[in-house]
Structure 1
Amino acid sequence: MEITAAAQTRASGDRRSPFDRFVEWTHLRVSQAPFFFVCAGIVVGWLISLPLWTDLKEWQTAIHTVSSVVTLLLVALLANAGRREREATQEKLNVIATTLAALMAVNANNSPELQDATKALREAVGLEERH
């Protein structure tokens, strides 16, 4: 059976880049309750600060600017994390399908239907890479 890229990476140790480790760390932190409460605290602090601002438009611009920048960065990081999770899931499915196809091939000697199913399964493995 051929060794996949993910399996090679596991065998040779963690080769993730500092950016990949940062994305994973950020994904873990922003998906937990404390991050939500920090964001809610920032909004409450912003609301309370209204009397300190002389111009209402500047007060509104402050929260809009901060929230837009944070949103843009988080969307990029979370999209990266989601992509890597999808790739890992697909890799696992491919390994399961390849193993199943090998098991089916062992038992397919007397069954043309099982031979056809085995062939279709083998063709489906890696299908996402061809589309």
Structure 2
Amino acid sequence: MTPAARLPRPFLGQGLRFPLEIVGGALAVSRGEAKIAESIRFLLSTAKGERTMRPTLGCGIHDLVFAPGNSQTDVFVAEAVRDTLVNNEPRIDVLDIGAERSPQEPNLILIRLVYRIRENNSVTSLVYPYFVTEGTAA
């Protein structure tokens, strides 16, 4: 490995691991592509308005927790995820998002995300499980 390859990539970032973890008596740190994946999970697991000082931070999927279990809800989930990542994660380009119900668990939406890391053009995928409680049709 060349010395240049060992240099940290500041654009990809480094910080405390999410969720917080203690390793060897200290808070664990993550960096690079792992930090981006953690950031995506953090954004998707945070409801809009949950952070007092940043009320627009977060994802609108939490507003759909009692939505009917149909394809229209799945489309809303995909749109909410895309909106969240485009507005809050500048290190990536979202290439594809899909939301589909798990055949084994009807209250589970699998959010499949394909994104490119701008710093190194690496294409990565992530599956985020989101549990909903199906609402009653009115």
TM-score (norm 1): 0.27
Higher relative contact order (CA 8 A, sep 6+): 1
Higher helix share: 1
> By percentage of residues, which structure has more strand?
2
TM-score (norm 2): 0.26
Larger radius of gyration: 1
